[in-house]
Amino acid sequence: EAGVVQSPRYKIIEKKQPVAFWCNPISGHNTLYWYLQNLGQGPELLIRYENEEAVDDSQLPKDRFSAERLKGVDSTLKIQPAELGDSAVYLCASSLSGYAEAFFGQGTRLTVV
């Protein structure tokens, strides 16, 4: 069974530029998460989807971050414009339901210069 797939693995952009990350969850998983992880720290939730609905986006900086999960499958996370402080690893995870274990992708390492 294929795991959670994220792309790209690495991205380097200049500040003020836009960037997008893509996530394909495990087939059949209804719940999808986007996390941010800074070096040496634990993951911080940005947004959680149940199917197509964003059920928890309280930690998403909505002035510059946006996300979508069309058709309740793949998801895209966008930052526009990027700031130096956005440099981090962006992790996508999925689970069968909100009350099941989450499986993570490899992450996208973003460097803003």
Partner 1 sequence: GDSVTQMEGPVTLSEEAFLTINCTYTATGYPSLFWYVQYPGEGLQLLLKATKADDKGSNKGFEATYRKETTSFHLEKGSVQVSDSAVYFCALLTPSNYQLIWGAGTKLIIKP
Binding footprint of partner 1 on the chain (CB under 8 A):
4, 6, 31, 33, 40-43, 45, 48, 56, 91, 93, 98-99, 101-107
- How many residues are present in the chain? 113
Q: Cβ closer to partner 1: 29 or 48?
A: 48
Q: Cβ closer to partner 1: 4 or 79?
A: 4
Q: Cβ closer to partner 1: 42 or 85?
A: 42
Distance, in Å, from the CA atom of 108 to the CA atom of 89, rounded to the nearest integer, reads 5
Question: How far apart are CB 96 and partner 1 at their closest, in Å?
Answer: 12
Amino acid at 62: K
Specify burial of residue 26 (Cβ count, 10 A radius: 0-12, 13-18, 19+). Answer: middle
Q: Cβ closer to partner 1: 27 or 63?
A: 27
Question: How far apart are CB 62 and partner 1 at their closest, in Å?
Answer: 19
Question: How far apart are CB 16 and partner 1 at their closest, in Å?
Answer: 28
Assess whether the previous peptide bond of 61 is cis (omega < 30° from 0).
no
DSSP conformational letter for 9: S
Question: How far apart are CB 52 and partner 1 at their closest, in Å?
Answer: 17
In the numeric block, which tokens belong to residue 79?
């930052």
